[in-house]
Amino acid sequence: MMIERNIYLQRLIDRKENGMIKVITGIRRCGKSYLLFNIYRDWLINSGVSEDHIIMVGLDDEQNEELLDRKLLGEYVRSKITDESTYYIVLDEIQLVEGFEKLLNGLNRIKNADIYVTGSNSRFLSSDILTEFRGRGDEVRIYPLSFSEFYSVFNGTKTEAWREYSLYGGMPQIVEQRRPEQKENFLKNLFKKVYLDDIISRNNLRGDNIMDILVNILASSVGSNTNPNKLANTFVSNGYKGVSNKTIATYIDCLIDAFLISKASRYD
The answer to which of 27-36, 50-59, 207-216 has the lowest mean pLDDT is 207-216
Measuring CA to CA, how many Å separate 159 from each of 110, 145, 154? 51, 17, 11
Residues 205 and 254: beta-carbon distance below 8 Å: yes
What is the model's pLDDT at position 180? 94
Residue 117 — φ and ψ, nearest 5°? Answer: -130, 150
What is the model's pLDDT at position 130? 61
Question: pTM score, two decimals?
Answer: 0.87
Does 187 have pLDDT greater than 60?
yes
- Give 224's pLDDT tier (boundaries 50, 70, 90): confident
- Kindly state the average pLDDT of the residues 7-13: 98
Q: Which distant-in-sequence residues (6+ apart) come within 8 Å of 203 by Cβ?
A: 254
Q: What is the pLDDT of residues 59-99, one digit of tens each?
A: 999 999 999 999 999 999 999 999 999 999 999 999 899 88
Q: Which distant-in-sequence residues (6+ apart) come within 8 Å of 225 by Cβ?
A: 266
The answer to which of 61-70, 196-205, 245-254 has the lowest mean pLDDT is 196-205
Does 124 have pLDDT greater than 70?
no
Q: Name the more confident of 24 and 198.
A: 24
Does 132 have pLDDT greater than 80?
no
Q: How far apart are CA 117 and CA 127, in angstroms?
A: 14
Does 131 have pLDDT greater than 70?
no
